[in-house]
Amino acid sequence: MGEFAIKFTGGTSSVGGLMKFKCLVEYPPELDGYLPSELKKQTDGKGTTIMPFSDGRGNFEADSLSQAEAVEAEIKGKLQTAYNNLLEGRKRIQQWTGIREFELSAVE
């Protein structure tokens, strides 16, 4: 897995004769500080459960394949946004470091 790659490892299980779709999500731990609050707590939806994400790991389960695919796409989008925010933060820190000069003008 690359430095800033995410990995989804899916599987299935049978609970009471019904198939459940489970997925382990691995992401760079550097993103933890940029995760949205809904990924930091357990989120129960209709037929889905997303467990809290931390330390570069999270997981979810769904009652159907289509729900699992939708949750995976949602999580992927949220992790992409977290990565974009991380990059923006790094850029701002680089811009802050060093000397900046500004000209002042008289106000009439």
74-83, pLDDT tens digit by residue?
999 999 999 9
Q: Evaluate if pTM is beyond 0.75.
A: yes
Quote the strand ranges of 1-108, DSSP E: 7-15, 18-26, 43-45, 48-50, 57-62
The identity of residue 73, as a single letter, is A
Q: Which of 55, 67, 68, 53 is nearest to 23 (CA)?
A: 68
SS3 percent helix, strand, coil of the chain, rounded to 5, is 40, 30, 35
Tens of pLDDT, residue by residue over 21-66, are: 999 999 999 999 999 999 999 999 999 999 999 999 999 999 999 9
How many residues are listed for the chain in this entry? Answer: 108
